[in-house]
Structure 1
Amino acid sequence: MNGLSFSELCCLFCCPPCPNRIAAKLAFLPPEPTYEFSSDENGKCTYTLAERAEWQYSDRDKEKLEGFFTRTSRGNKIACLYVRCSPTAKFTILFSHGNAVDLGQMSSFYLGLGSRINCNIFSYDYSGYGVSEGKPSEKNLYADIDAAWQALRTRYGISPENIILYGQSIGTVPTVDLAARYEVGAVILHSPLMSGMRVAFPNTKRTWFFDAFPSIDKVSKVMSPTLVIHGTEDEVIDFSHGLTIFEKCPRAVEPLWVEGAGHNDVELYNVYLERLKQFVSVELIN
């Protein structure tokens, strides 16, 4: 069998959880918004950070941040952020963040990361996060990244070959979904999950019809160079998820397994930045 206990099997077959319940239980923890958007009479958006966003740079550096709204196919108005990190950047990263943060909290990280690896960064808040409308759900995740992708393409005129899709944790779910449908410059999957059921019940060997986030069934369709990053001591999404996703990627490059890292501290290890620099400025150029 698949390693589930008898009581777990009974529960699944007698009252299988709906995907949105799995999704809500495993994934969505939107914080109190740490930023605001305000529009002037010309419709131009001003992006204002709250103190809780913990901005680490100068006030002048805030001029590198451009915020605006776009609307998804499911009718939600979602917040987008473009961070101009480098005037010489070849690539723009479309970044799908983790589950318990919003754009305000990620702003300093985006500016620091983009500046160090010579990429501009475009990100968005999922429905129900930050100042984005609606509620978090699996279907909204896919609609959210589609709207962000379209905004990045049309508003900034950036070609797919110059876009790197970066997903972290729950953000790997919409990233894999989009990457399975569009070929891009590259894909980075940071602490990816195989599926919701495989996180909740680690011995699950197949994808049930009610499973949420079935990235494991989509990743074989990703035809762009793919870098997988995972901490070996990840306490939220087991390291085995990263290994299996890596094995299923048709164009996987050398992965980054961060020895001793957990779910939320991979970025603190020197090898993280070193591997990203090598991937973006050497492997993708050559």
Structure 2
Amino acid sequence: MSNFLPSLETFAKGTLATAATLSTVGAGLLWYGQNYLIYPSAFPPGSRIEVPAPSDFGIPYQDLELRTPDGILIRCYLLPQRKSLHADHPEAVRVPYDDSESDDEFIASRPTVVMFHGNGGNLGHRIPLAKIIFMKMRCNVLMCSYRGYGLSEGSPSEKGIQIDSQTVLDYLTSDPNFNKTPIILYGQSIGGAVAIDLASRNPSKIGALILENTFTSLPSLVPHALPLLGPFSFLCHQKWDSASKIHLIPATTPILMLSGARDDLVPKAHMRALWEAVAKRGEKKTSGGKEYKVGLERAKYMEFKSGGHNDTCVQTGYWPAVADFVASLGTPVAPEKSNPDPKT
């Protein structure tokens, strides 16, 4: 027994040393390497140099290069509408227009959807989704490429992407055609956090939000997404704290929330928590002695029982819900019945 005790002591010391080392490595990885974990812009391999273009999918578009206030060049895709789109593209839904109006006037009469993508891949991988919005709903579309993604310059970070999204919005609001259109923010996963942040900082400029499988905040997501690093979630300096920003978005701003019940990356509890925050932002009014909320009727939550993190957008009913939501904003669109097969 006496010979065994030193062995136990040695084992205990070794275990403590290993735990201390792993803790130090874990903390260092989260603190210094979190940008690589959160923004894997080079995955799938080739995503930084191989960027599909809308023309690959038969969509007319414009390359849009925007220089941010801190000097970063971000390369986006702009898909402006035109009256005769259905003549050249049979899949495009025909919408009423005045023969006397110009294409610029037609652009100004249609909603503009700004797409903020998830943290993997590049904007080109989301073109099948943009095609539905552009062809079937006849919206103008601006696909944002964050810094450090696709062919955009720089390295991604929360502060940097906030600057990128603001630069995109400033472009639209300064353009003589797009500044007349209702601006709808469509964000998937971390793109939803980008949309919430942008709307919270520009409450009077955003017409509506469409949010899919996004989270309350990144620190609260770490224990689920990276269980081994859960104890160090307090070191996560990339916050994207959407839960604390929802109340800054006016109760009258329509919000559509789309959640995949089988999301294995962002637990559906995050979307439900955000929905509760959306419900609380309603303005309380009293009529006939009864208290009610104004604004909540313009928000909607939908859960798709078979939807995972990357395939909620191909679930039955997803695109009709988006089309109905856009139509409810005052612009008629035709529901899309088929599903795309995007690389998300």
Q: Same fold (TM over 0.5)?
A: yes
Equivalent of 1:198, from 220, 228, 233?
Answer: 220
How far does residue 114 in structure 1 lie from its aligned partner after superposition? 2.3
One of 16, 28, 48 as aligned partner of 1:32: 48
Partner of 1:41: none
Report deviation, 1:193: 1.1
Asked if structure 2 preserves the Cα contact closer than 8 Å seen for 1:96 and 1:172, the reply is yes
The answer on 1:221 being equivalent to 2:272 is: no
CA distances 1:238-265 after superposition (whole Å, capped 9, x unpaired):
1111111111112551211111110111
The equivalences for 1:37-48 within 5 A come to: none
Q: Distance in 1 between matches of 2:216 and 2:31?
A: 14
Q: 1:284 to 1:228 in 2, by over 3 A?
A: farther
Seen in structure 2, the aligned counterparts of structure 1 residues 257 and 148 have a Cα distance that, compared at 3 Å, is same
1:101 correspondence with 2:147: no
* CA distance 1:285–1:116, shift in 2 (3 Å): closer
For the pair 1:186 / 2:215, whether they are aligned, the reply is: no
Instruction: Name the SS for the 2:300 alignment partner.
Output: coil
- Alignment TM-score, normalising by the size of structure 1: 0.78
SS in structure 1 of the partner of residue 175 of structure 2: helix
Task: Tell me the residue number matched to 1:267.
Answer: 313
Task: Check whether the contact 2:30–2:235 (CA below 8 A) recurs between aligned residues.
Answer: no
**Distance (Å, rounded) in 1 between the aligned partners of 2:305 and 2:123:** 28
Runs of 4 or more, structure 1, over 6 Å off, are 16-20
Alignment counterpart, residue 77 of structure 1, candidates 39, 53, 73: 73
How many pairs were matched up?
Answer: 256
Aligned to 1:158: 178
Unaligned runs of 5+ in 2: 1-18, 84-94, 96-108, 282-294, 333-344
Match of 2:130, SS state, is helix
C-alpha offsets along residues 181-227 of structure 1, whole Å, 9 cap, x if unaligned? Answer: 223110111111111111111499xx958442111111221122111
Instruction: Calculate percent identity across the aligned residue pairs.
Output: 23
The alignment's C-alpha RMSD in Å is 3.0
Alignment match, 2:168:
148
Q: Is the 8 A contact 2:74 2:164 kept in 1?
A: yes
Q: Indicate conservation of the 8 Å contact 1:33/1:102, yes or no.
A: no
Q: Distance in 2 between matches of 1:93 and 1:201?
A: 33
1:39 is aligned to none
CA separation of 1:34 and 1:190: change in aligned 2, threshold 3 A: same
The TM-score normalised by the length of structure 2 is 0.66
Structure number with the higher helix fraction is 2
1:120 maps to which of 130, 135, 140: 140
Secondary structure of 1:180's partner?
helix
The answer to whether residue 259 in structure 2 is matched with residue 233 in structure 1 is no
The aligned residue for residue 22 of structure 1 is 34
Amino acid in the other structure paired with 1:248: A
Question: Are residues 20 and 83 of structure 1, via their aligned partners in 2, closer, same or farther at CA, if it must alter by over 3 Å?
Answer: farther
**Amino acid corresponding to residue 310 of structure 2 in structure 1:** N
Gap change, CA 1:228 and 1:11, over 3 Å in 2: farther
Corresponding residue for residue 289 of structure 2: none
Q: Specify the SS of the correspondent of 1:254.
A: strand
